[in-house]
A and B are shown apart, each in its own frame.
Chain A
């Protein structure tokens, strides 16, 4: 056991050992004394002083509103054959001056730097004063409580011996590699703990500790006859959990089921695909990805209003004309945005604007009824909220990967409501007389999220059973047609959480959100060949 050194001694940012306390002891310095002070976790009062100094500096320089963030991200990953540990600290200040946003950030946590960043952010904003005046507003805070919150996890990976994690993963990898017909496999599991402090010129001050554990796992099989099949295993995708995410679930049993399904598929003949329209079965992972790309992205308020025009694109849902009246899908389609579900990767107590997230229906009975809003976006929808009797408020969608970056609207955790009395994947399959089933496809939608394309292996379904494989099939769809052709959804029992990555912005930002999804059947989607 003496060989098992504490994990805390390996992670740079932990606080118990000589390495870790030393690492951070010089990172925080007090302006008055200009001496280093030990940083004792995100609730250290000195951090509040640093943030307050930045806010004072910004408002003294002319900001009408200012907020400041400190972020401390610790990450541990075993990818391939060696481990990496990463620590990142950032300090960002955002200000509003005459209707213009300014932002400044750096990796230095100190009150001296706080003064500089506050002024620098104002300088950035003021540069725009030569441009036309901007009549700009942000939605008021419904509640601006202060406090501290730690995401509830059972096993903080950063308090464990890293060998325990490594051994677990190595054993799992060895198990996967030992399976018959194994050709290759991957497992990129990351453990992340992020501590955040936020303060605003409105007087709010919050601190949080968040966790993210998981990542993609997949394998491909190669038969003796040279037939090959691959697929993704989704039980370990990123979640707002600690190490229990992997250890407390029957990972091997579930992987064995996944493997056996893959193995059964490997023996299926490779058939010739006739281009045409087919009833299409999508497993939960496909529905999760479709939901993120075709419902999540276009309901992000900044995308909808054209803020992403020079980057990811302008969404096809016009919030002024289409909210409350546009039928995106059949009555079966109900999608909710939320950031409070246990285990979801987006779960927070406050978003990166200090807003406590609210649960919001985005699609109700197929109708687009709301947008995912930050404070700025909510203000742009003021009239809509007023006419529909809703409170004009942010839904808590502001997110920034670290305090280095500007907060933007990112997908909340999304939930596709299961069908009452709905079916399992198997029973949905058995309801299809002639159709196809998608298997871990790559899904691409255009820059307005309106036309989409899938790529990857498909199964031919006849009389409720898989009877063959198509290697070169692709479903092409228009988003409203896709969702209006939704004829069946899985039931409560088939709900599963998937961690979905997405990117947006300029500079590009990445984020991960959870999508709770069920399998689905769509009638008569267009299927073509890619080669």
Chain B
């Protein structure tokens, strides 16, 4: 049983290793074994209507095992790491795997457990040691300002730390054990007019909250709220649009997410962005080498990049996904990389990336725009059509009209329908990069295949042609 205290908020490597050693002593001799022992701590403060609404300290631990015997698998998970719980989980997973081993021919993939990694940790003592009173002080400053300005603020400040010990063993007994730990923090602020006639939002995230500037985040939210007051209606249609980094990230994340190979054996439809069916060869061929987007765009993941590195970045090498607009590398499943492509170094990260920036400031973008819009945030994005990555969503917390090189009006929100393939082939200007906000509240079982990493994204502002706004919405 864990005895938690202020110093023991997450598992140490030695504690996790002890749990692993014990778990392995219960594992049968046959089949594959995957075990993830993870722990998590989160401190968070939420506020609304200019007052704190909840301050919380939460802890979690997870033991997750997946056994594969022949063609069958079984999985068990518990958040209790005493001997009997671990033994129970190991036995249950094994029994499930054994009980269907003859009847289940679907799972042909077998993870292999030895490959080389470059190491990187994304850990900040400042984040881990930030006191709840410091968060409270920040909230106090923000809410004070909103009261003085007769505005209403709501927001969230949170810092978390998590660890994972990951063990993989294949059918031949080859195994690896990897340990990683990460901190993360995020702050987001919404400032609204009390009558609901304007709303501004800003957010910031980093593994290291020393890189934060809460005051700056709040100021930006205030500024956007004030600039967004009393929005006017504008006809929907296609507009030259300056997409702030948060909006760029929304679109780019869907494109990056589409760069993965869907194994035919999974039974799911193939991914038309990654691969295309060649009727002559009668098989899917990849689109690697095909130009997807504007040649100024480079999109890549580097685990050594402290603004991008992911939770399990020690398991991931640098991946150049798009180079000068050309699709250069996608993601495969680990078994496919190992067993079919003979790779010893799979590219498996999906959601953390950096896009190289340009040198155009937002002011310059505005000055060079005769008529267009600035979008702060694209909210509720969801796919309409997978083949073209056609998405829809709404604008939120900041939409302004530019006329003859000047921002002239706040505009009521739109529903938008657009594909990142279209948007990123219609880029006029590229601005400076900045890390965007991501929801860093990440808890509980980490996936064994490491795909569920944090979304650390660094992207530039972009000015694009003909962005499609399909209809007006009433929400402010």
- Residues of A whose CB lies within 8 Å of any CB of B are 5, 10-12, 19-20, 22-27, 29, 36, 80-90, 100-108, 110, 112-113, 116, 120-121, 123-125, 127-128, 130-132, 134, 163, 166, 184, 305-311, 313-314, 316, 404-406, 442, 444, 446-448, 450-451, 453, 455, 476, 478, 506-508, 528, 530-531
Contact = CB atoms under 8 A, between A and B. Distances in A.
A271 B80 CA distance: 57
Contacts of B53: 101, 307
B87 A22 contact: yes
B281 interface: no
A123 B43 CA distance: 12
B473 A309 contact: no
30 contacts: A12-B85, A12-B88, A22-B83, A22-B85, A22-B87, A23-B84, A26-B1, A81-B106, A82-B74, A89-B80, A101-B52, A103-B54, A104-B56, A105-B57, A107-B2, A107-B61, A107-B79, A108-B1, A113-B3, A128-B136, A132-B51, A163-B99, A306-B49, A306-B192, A309-B190, A310-B189, A314-B196, A451-B415, A507-B439, A530-B384
B385 interface: yes
B95 to A, nearest CB: 6
Nearest to A82: B73
A303 to B, nearest CB: 11
B7 interface: no
B137 interface: yes
Contact of B392 (A307, A404, A453): A453
Contact of B80 (A27, A102, A116, A442): A27
B133 interface: yes
Nearest to B442: A507
Given A81-B107, A83-B74, A508-B441, A531 B136 contact: no
A450 B473 contact: yes
Given A22-B88, A123-B132, A446-B475, 10 more contacts: A19-B87, A83-B75, A86-B76, A86-B77, A88-B79, A108-B3, A127-B133, A130-B136, A132-B140, A132-B147
Given A127-B132, A127-B133, A82 B55 contact: no
A24 B78 CA distance: 11
A462 B267 CA distance: 37
B417 interface: yes
Most chain A beta carbons < 10 A, residue from B3, B84, B441, B470: B84
Nearest to A29: B1
A107 B38 CA distance: 13
Contact of A305 (B49, B201, B474): B49
B55 A12 contact: no
B70 to A, nearest CB: 12
B95 A530 contact: no
A106 B59 contact: yes
A404 B415 contact: no
A48 B112 CA distance: 47
Nearest to A131: B140
A127 B154 contact: no
Given A124-B55, A127-B132, A446-B394, A84 B192 contact: no
Contacts of A23: 78, 80, 82, 84-85, 88
Interface of B: 1-5, 42, 44-46, 48-49, 51-61, 72-80, 82-85, 87-89, 91-92, 95-97, 99-100, 104, 106-107, 131-133, 135-137, 139-140, 143-144, 147, 152, 154-156, 158, 188-190, 192, 196, 199, 201, 267-268, 379-380, 382, 384-385, 390, 392, 394, 396, 413, 415, 417, 439, 441, 443, 470-476
Contacts of A88: 78-79
Contacts of A107: 2, 59-61, 79-80
B443 A450 contact: no
Contact of A531 (B83, B88, B199, B384): B384
A20 B56 CA distance: 32
Given A82-B96, A131-B140, A316 B55 contact: no
Contacts of B473: 446, 450-451
A85 B445 CA distance: 13
Closest A-B pairs by Cβ, 3 of them: A22-B84, A448-B475, A309-B154
B364 to A, nearest CB: 31
A106 B444 CA distance: 12
Contact of B192 (A100, A103, A127, A309): A309
Nearest to A135: B51
Given A116-B5, A507-B443, A12 B78 contact: yes
Given A85-B92, A106-B58, A448 B476 contact: yes
Contacts of B58: 103-106, 404-405
Nearest to B3: A112
A521 to B, nearest CB: 23
A5 B95 CA distance: 10
Most chain B beta carbons < 10 A, residue from A113, A131, A307, A453: A131
Nearest to B85: A23
B49 A125 contact: no
B95 A10 contact: yes
Contact of B96 (A26, A85, A90): A85
A100 B135 CA distance: 14
B154 A307 contact: yes
B78 A86 contact: yes
Contacts of A530: 384-385, 390, 392, 417
Nearest to A125: B55
A81 B73 CA distance: 8
A397 B407 CA distance: 45
Contacts of A310: 46, 48, 154-156, 188-190, 201
A450 B475 contact: yes
Contacts of B99: 163
Contacts of B474: 316, 446, 448, 450-451, 478
A476 B392 contact: no
Given A27-B85, A83-B74, A87-B78, A306 B154 contact: yes
A82 B75 contact: yes
Nearest to A313: B475
A507 B44 contact: yes
